[in-house]
């Protein structure tokens, strides 16, 4: 009976974690470049049940009854990096990545990576993210990798990701990054990722005057949320049944008359 409690409660804990994952996807459905998470579940390893009711001579010997599974647990929460859609904008500081790759940004002394290209220009003329962090590029004059300074003039982006000023000079190249294995990426909040093994200046297709939307399908996520709710209610009923069984065992079957 106690095993039944553990099995049901393990299901409730796993469903709660899955609900948090789905809810987080729904909350970020309108965040540009956001990549959804998915949770996978795994059963606990089966255990062998035995008793010693069989006798061989005057000795009781183990009798294998079969295996029993004690519930489920969270196996992994992974990020799905499928392409999001595109929406056109009238801002020349908006960019969207079509295919693999990331923008590189500087937060303090740390380099981070993002798919969100809704950039702005700060009061000093630097290209920054919506969170106020500097967008990095390669200075085409010095070769240095540094925050991109565009001033107040309108600029354009050519097919090689070079930023061209109003006079047609290529001042910077957007510093892009890609990764051999996206499993090495870790979400750190604010639509940023970090990793220790980026490949800089790989071929990344960037489009100007567009933004990549999230790859979250809100209808699918709402359906998942309803399924989780039904499964949670079923597990709650099972816990109540186990509680009633234990109560009767303690108060009725086990009572001394």
Residues 174 and 247 in one domain: no
Mean pLDDT, the chain, rounded, equals 87
> For residues 177 and 224, what is the distance between their CA atoms, to the nearest angstrom?
33
pLDDT tier at 239 (50, 70, 90 boundaries)?
Answer: confident
Residues 100 and 171 in one domain: yes
pLDDT tier at 171 (50, 70, 90 boundaries)?
Answer: very high
What residues make up the domain containing 67? 2-80+216-253
Q: Are 120 and 91 a contacting pair, CB within 8 Å? A: no
Closest CA to 237 of 65, 2, 8, 77: 8
Residues 161 and 120 in one domain: yes
> For residues 175 and 104, what is the distance between their CA atoms, to the nearest angstrom?
6
Residues 70 and 108 in one domain: no
pLDDT at 241: 74
Residues 150 and 194 in one domain: yes
Closest CA to 30 of 185, 191, 176, 187: 191
Residues 149 and 100 in one domain: yes
DSSP 36: -
Query: Each residue of 76-132: pLDDT tens digit?
Result: 899 999 999 999 999 999 999 999 999 999 999 999 999 999 999 999 999 999 999
Query: Does residue 70 come out as left (phi exceeding 0), alpha (psi in the -120 to 50 range) or beta?
Result: alpha
Q: How much is the average pLDDT of 198-213?
A: 95
Residue 162 half-sphere exposure toward CB, CA atoms < 13 A: 14
Q: Is residue 3 predicted with pLDDT exceeding 70?
A: no
Structural domains of the chain, count: 2
pLDDT at 62: 67
> For residues 159 and 213, what is the distance between their CA atoms, to the nearest angstrom?
22
Query: Does residue 6 come out as left (phi exceeding 0), alpha (psi in the -120 to 50 range) or beta?
Result: alpha
Residues 247 and 200 in one domain: no
Residues 244 and 150 in one domain: no
Residues 200 and 90 in one domain: yes
Residues 100 and 163 in one domain: yes
Q: Is residue 255 predicted with pLDDT exceeding 60?
A: no
Residues 53 and 171 in one domain: no
The pTM of this model reads 0.81
Query: Each residue of 17-74: pLDDT tens digit?
Result: 999 999 999 999 999 999 999 998 877 665 555 566 666 666 666 666 566 556 677 8
Q: How much is the average pLDDT of 190-211?
A: 94
């Amino acid at each position: 009976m106690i095993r039944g409690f553990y099995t049901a409660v393990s299901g409730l804990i796993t469903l709660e974690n899955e609900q948090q994952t789905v809810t987080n996807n729904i909350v970020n459905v309108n965040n540009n470049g956001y990549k959804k998470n998915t949770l996978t579940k795994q059963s606990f390893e089966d255990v062998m049940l035995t008793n010693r009711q069989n006798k061989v001579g005057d000795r009781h010997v183990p009798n294998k009854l079969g295996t029993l599974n004690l519930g489920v647990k969270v196996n992994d929460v992974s990020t799905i990096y499928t392409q999001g859609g595109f929406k056109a904008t009238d801002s020349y500081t908006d960019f969207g990545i079509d295919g693999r790759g990331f923008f590189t940004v500087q937060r303090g002394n740390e380099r981070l990576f993002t798919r969100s290209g809704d950039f702005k220009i700060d009061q000093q003329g630097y290209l920054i993210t919506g969170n106020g962090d500097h967008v990095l590029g390669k200075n085409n004059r010095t070769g240095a990798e540094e925050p991109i300074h565009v001033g107040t003039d309108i600029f354009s982006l050519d097919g090689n990701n070079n930023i061209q000023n109003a006079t047609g000079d290529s001042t910077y190249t957007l510093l892009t990054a890609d990764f051999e294995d996206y499993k090495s990426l870790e979400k750190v909040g604010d639509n940023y990722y970090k990793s220790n093994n980026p490949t800089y200046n790989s071929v990344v297709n960037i489009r100007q005057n567009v933004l990549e939307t999230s790859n979250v399908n809100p209808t699918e996520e709402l359906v998942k949320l309803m399924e989780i709710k039904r499964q949670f209610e079923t597990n709650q009923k099972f816990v109540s049944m186990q509680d009633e069984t234990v109560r009767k065992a303690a108060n009725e079957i086990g009572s001394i008359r």
